[in-house]
A and B are shown apart, each in its own frame.
Chain A
Amino acid sequence: MSFPVRKSVFVGLAGMSLIGTVAACAPSAQAPAAQSTAASTGSATGSAPMASTGASTAAASGYKDGTYSADGNYVSPNGTETVGVELTLSGGTVSDVNITQHPSNPNTRKFQGEFAGGIKAQIVGKNLDELNVSKVAGSSLTSGGFNEAVQKIKAEAQ
């Protein structure tokens, strides 16, 4: 897949604005960038200058092949975070995009970089009725009293 450089930078950073929001792992968020708005998820900015870490041939687009990186900021519930975006250009088009988080907020940093077994960039949901399981570990079943109270408040709010 290849696309114009400018557009890909925009897409990469727009996607970043979702990090730190719940929408990113909602099952319906198959196209998160399309569902996000700057108002609800914080804004992303790509104002940092791009630093070239390698260059070879000049391409028709005017961009040299190589790997470029830039930092962007977004606002998460924890405060302002910084993400790194790394683009690889080949023949004037983007051949690879890598996103790295290097959070400036200590509360976020606490939960990152100390992984024993592994990490997964995005959880994936499957319907329970498609799975061969007899039990579910989770916390959706809450108390009767709690649920009644929530229903009552919803009714009063209507």
Chain B
Amino acid sequence: MPQPGWAVFSFEGIGTSWEISTPGPLDTGQRRRLLDVVENYDAAWSRFRTDSLVAQAAREAGRYEMPDGAGELGRLYRSLYRLSAGAMTPLIGGSLEQLGYDADYSLRSRGTPVPAPQWDDVLDWQDSVLTTTAPVVLDVGAAGKGQLADLLAAELRSLGISEHFIDASGDLLNSGPVPVAVGLEHPYDPGRAIGTISLGAGALCASAANRRAWGDGLHHVLDGITGTPVRTVVATWALAANAMTADALATALFFVSGKVLEQDFEFSWLTVFSDGSAAYSAGFEGVLFE
């Protein structure tokens, strides 16, 4: 609980656990509204259910009208696709499936890694409309959880609950104004932290290669150029004004240095490498334990 005495609403959504903390308890109607936001997002973007728009796009080429917010998600992905020279792409779903991270959670590799298709070969993403020229497996996992946190925060504000804290299994969004003390989870030991930071109004999202790992050298952060798991960076954190941006940048840090991303995004970053060293921007100064 981020603040003493706050109430917590916990639920499962888009394949992960959520905790929404508010100064007072949410009533049934308010909870229903929040769960509807989650369901609508899942119905559009989940590649783990057969009735989603993304599942339809995996079956056949066509024109897909995505929900509100898809435009900004697409623009964010497009910038990161450019900055990572194609490595970070929403078309990574097929590569993930090939390595066994599929709707059935088979977690068994189907063979050699397959690269993601080139964006401009198969996908035209204009605001909330996606037009595809071939069946494609979209996976917006790098930014989707963050965007859903932003959408839930917007719903809370529309319900008149301006003060809230959203914990999407370790991706955090604080409405402010009161800062919350946050530990940065050790990449190899969830019982430990490598530092602490005070999170004011804004989002702090993390990504780690060791989680969701299911085999030798196989984890869920894939390079869209080769379709193989990224090496060298093992954990990242990004602080930004909204959770969608922080979430996406935490993944982008696996492909592009924070210094380069800083030229296009206003954010703070911390990257931990496989040799145990770390690099960080000024926003993470003094955060790591000595």
Chain A residues within CB distance 8 Å of chain B: 18-22, 24-27, 76-78, 107-108, 110-111, 114-128, 131-146, 148-150, 153
Known pairs A107-B231, A140-B208 / 14 extra A-B pairs, C-beta < 8 Å: A26-B189, A116-B280, A120-B278, A122-B276, A123-B276, A125-B192, A128-B191, A135-B181, A135-B182, A137-B206, A141-B17, A142-B211, A146-B15, A148-B105
Point out the residue from A107, A116, A121 that lies within 8 Å of B281, measured CB to CB: A116
Q: Which partner residue on chain B sits nearest A27 by CB separation?
A: B189
- Provide the residues of chain A in CB contact with B2, threshold 8 Å: 134-135
Is the pair B172, A135 in contact by a Cβ cutoff of 8 Å?
yes
| Nearest CB in chain A: distance from B79 CB, A | 18
* B277: A residues at CB distance < 8 A: 119-123
Query: What chain A residues lie within 8 Å of B3 (beta carbons)?
Result: 134
Footprint of A on B, CB under 8 Å? Answer: 1-3, 12, 15-17, 48, 105-107, 165, 167, 169-172, 180-197, 199, 204-208, 210-212, 214, 217, 231-235, 237, 257-260, 262, 268, 271-285, 288-290
- Indicate which residue in A118, A133, A145 contacts B15 across the interface (CB closer than 8 Å): A145
Complex contact A139–B182 (CB within 8 A): no
Task: Identify the 3 closest CB pairs spanning chains A and B, nearest first.
Answer: A138-B185, A25-B276, A140-B190
The residues of B that contact A136 with a CB separation of less than 8 Å are 170, 182-185, 190, 193
Q: Given the complex, which residues of A lie within 8 Å of B258, measured CB to CB?
A: 116
Contact B276 A107 (CB under 8 A): no
Min distance, Cβ B196 to any Cβ of chain A, angstroms? 6
| Contact pick for A140, options B185, B194, B283, CB 8 Å | B185
Closest to B254 in A: A111
In-complex Cβ contact of A116 among B183, B262, B273, B276 (8 A): B262
Selected contact of B181 from candidates A18, A108, A134, CB within 8 Å: A134
In the assembled complex, which residues on chain A have CB atoms less than 8 Å from the CB atom of B188? 22, 25-27
Give which listed residue, A107, A127, A139, A143, contacts B232 with CB less than 8 A. Answer: A107
Given A123-B272, A136-B193, A138-B208, A149 contacting B107 (CB threshold 8 A)? yes
The answer to whether B259 touches A114, judged by C-beta atoms less than 8 angstroms apart, is yes
Q: Check if A125 sits within 8 Å of B183, measured CB to CB.
A: no
Q: How far is the CB of B70 from chain A (nearest CB, A)?
A: 23
Knowing A19-B275, A124-B289, the reply to whether A139 touches B169 (Cβ < 8 A) is yes
Instruction: Report chain B residues within 8 Å CB of A127.
Output: 191-192
Separation in Å of the A118 CB from the closest CB of chain B?
6
How far, in Å, is B66 (CB) from chain A's closest CB? 22
Given contacts A21-B274, A114-B257, A138-B208, is CB(A125)–CB(B194) below 8 Å?
yes
Taking CB as reference atom, which chain B residue is nearest A18? B275
Chain B positions within 8 Å of A116 at CB level: 258-259, 262, 280-282
In this complex, the member of A78, A134, A143 whose beta carbon has the largest number of chain B beta carbons within 10 angstroms is: A134
How long is the Cα–Cα vector from A150 to B17 in the complex, in angstroms? 17
Which residue of B197, B260, B274 is within 8 Å of A20 (Cβ)? B274
* List of B residues within 8 angstroms of A111 by Cβ: 232-233, 257, 271, 273, 279
Nearest B residue to A138, CB-CB: B185
A-B contact pairs, 18 of them (CB 8 A): A25-B188, A26-B189, A76-B232, A78-B231, A111-B271, A115-B280, A117-B281, A123-B194, A125-B194, A132-B196, A137-B170, A137-B206, A139-B207, A140-B208, A141-B169, A143-B15, A144-B12, A149-B105
**For residue B195, which residues in chain A have a CB less than 8 angstroms away from its CB?**
123
Question: Chain B nearest CB: distance from A1 CB in Å?
Answer: 20
Task: Select which of B107, B192, B210 is within 8 A of A27 by beta carbon.
Answer: B192
Contact B187 A25 (CB under 8 A): yes
A21 to B45 alpha-carbon distance, docked (Å) = 36
CA distance A14 to B71 in the complex (A): 52
